[in-house]
Amino acid sequence: MKSITLPCPLSVRNLLIQFKKAAVGAYPVGGCVRDALMGQEPHDWDVAVTTVPEETLRICEGWGYHVIPTGLRHGTVTVLTANGPVECTTCRTEGGYSDGRHPDGVSFTGKLTDDLSRRDFTVNAMAAELSEDGETFEIIDLFGGRDDLKNKLIRCVGDPHTRLTEDALRVMRGIRFAVKLGFDIHPDTVAALRDCKHGLARISRERISVEFQKILCSDQPERGVSLLFDLGLMPHVLPCGISPFGTGNLSSLPADFGVRCACLLWQMPADELSENIRSLKLSNETAHAIKTLAGGVIPTESSLLAARLLRKDYGNLALPLLSIATSHGRDTINLQAMVKASAEAGECVSISELALDGQAVMALGVPKGKAVGEILNSLLSLVLDDPAKNTKETLTKEVQKRLSY
Ligand code: ATP
Ligand code: MG
């Protein structure tokens, strides 16, 4: 077998060497091997080990590592190395999947073959073994993952229908990897995605949402949405569908889920919008941003005042809102420039930014209570019209003028 070099951090390599000296099988596996073979820097290195988890923990602690028993039941311990945490997971099989989402039980067979066989797609089912020289690796590829990488193909390990029925989340994962890597999906796997989608009804909303977020933040968000529609998965993701105006130009927007999702849900009827957002189980902050952006109102004219009012009403969301409108065909270029200039100039767009505060207004003789708020609001209107008026002097005069009426 041909040895190759992988961009494996020194601390991971050292850990692999220590395992090797102790006659323990330890193999980088899954996403890191896939990414490294594609010439991309893996963001983390997962290692499959032949020892049972308690044993992995004990021997790594013996080498002086700090080890966290992350998921002993699933075989995972996290070894903290100088280059960051490395998850070491016992080679395992997964038992039946009677509920279509969780294995009934895992067994720690300690055999790499078992561990590779339980994985979802061929490109995710390769491992690497450090050579005797401690420098290069041999790739262990039982299912044609390297060919599929070369041919840019997502293909299930084993029989697609069986694998997608075992765990229906893999239906979403298949699309996620296709759009993330820019790969085609093998026709047999496509057919199984279509046939097995109903299993998604048993998968938690949170897990579906996480996959959807990754699909939308990929380099091919439009293709991801098309696949979700074409394969009939969309009802499992967004129960009320998408914007009546179509997807918009998603890939022109930053890879931010809130912004892209709002673009996809642009100007939907409020009840359908809320239902979609609710079903995605997002944080309050993200949910609120999507609701605000998707229901946003774009002024018809481009003026400095309109730009300031946008900043007042939408704060940090003003620019994303304009980008979304543009991606749906509106021309907001001038407004965007004006919003940016207004923000850069630090123009006042809220009561808290006024040169006079409530205390100062009362000190001038405005009685405590509703009148204070009314005065502050009228000062803000003045300042929105003419930012130069936001000085203590000018606003003091304005208050005095109002008091003398
Ligand atoms: P990413 O870089 O996006 O994290 P990844 O390949 O590391 O990609 P993960 O979701 O972190 O993806 O999963 C790690 C590995 O575990 C996968 O490469 C795959 O081999 C395996 N895996 C994860 N989830 C499943 C699943 N539901 N069914 C089968 N195998 C899975
Ligand atoms: Mg990963």
Query: Ligand 1 centroid vs 21 CA: distance in angstroms?
Result: 28
Whether residue 22 is predicted with pLDDT greater than 90 in this model: the reply is yes
Helix H or strand E encompassing 111: none
The H-assigned helical ranges of 84-220 are: 112-117, 145-150, 160-166, 169-181, 187-196, 205-216
Q: With bands split at pLDDT 50, 70 and 90, how would you rate the model's confidence at 133?
A: confident
Residues 240-287 have pLDDT tens digits of 999 999 999 999 999 999 999 999 999 999 999 999 999 999 999 999
Q: Is 176 in the pocket of ligand 1 (CB under 6 A)?
A: no
- pLDDT at residue 105, as a whole number: 80
- pLDDT at residue 1, as a whole number: 62
Query: Ligand 2 centroid vs 243 CA: distance in angstroms?
Result: 32
Residues 174-209 have pLDDT tens digits of 999 999 999 999 999 999 999 999 999 999 999 999
* Average predicted confidence (pLDDT) for the chain: 96
Atom number of ligand 1 nearest to Cα 43: 2
Atom number of ligand 1 nearest to Cα 214: 3
- 303 neighbors 383 (Cβ within 8 angstroms): no
- pLDDT at residue 27, as a whole number: 98
Q: Is 167 in the pocket of ligand 1 (CB under 6 A)?
A: yes
Q: Is 174 in the pocket of ligand 1 (CB under 6 A)?
A: no
The gap from C-alpha 393 to its chain's centroid, in whole angstroms, comes to: 49
Q: What is the pTM for the complete model shown?
A: 0.93
Mean pLDDT of 134-138: 94
The H-assigned helical ranges of 22-166 are: 31-37, 53-62, 112-117, 145-150, 160-166
The single residue listed with the structure tokens 């997502």 is 154
- pLDDT at residue 102, as a whole number: 83
Q: Is 120 in the pocket of ligand 1 (CB under 6 A)?
A: yes
- pLDDT at residue 49, as a whole number: 98
Q: Is 119 in the pocket of ligand 1 (CB under 6 A)?
A: yes
- pLDDT at residue 100, as a whole number: 80
- pLDDT at residue 99, as a whole number: 83
Mean pLDDT of 340-366: 96
- Could you give phi then psi for residue 280, rounded to 5 degrees? -85, -5
Q: Is 30 in the pocket of ligand 1 (CB under 6 A)?
A: yes
Whether residue 101 is predicted with pLDDT greater than 90 in this model: the reply is no
Q: With bands split at pLDDT 50, 70 and 90, how would you rate the model's confidence at 340?
A: very high
- pLDDT at residue 401, as a whole number: 93
- Best of 124, 148, 215 for a ligand 1 pocket test (most atoms within 8 Å of beta carbon): 124
Query: Ligand 2 centroid vs 344 CA: distance in angstroms?
Result: 39
Which region holds residue 214: left if phi is over 0, alpha if psi is between -120 and 50, else beta?
alpha
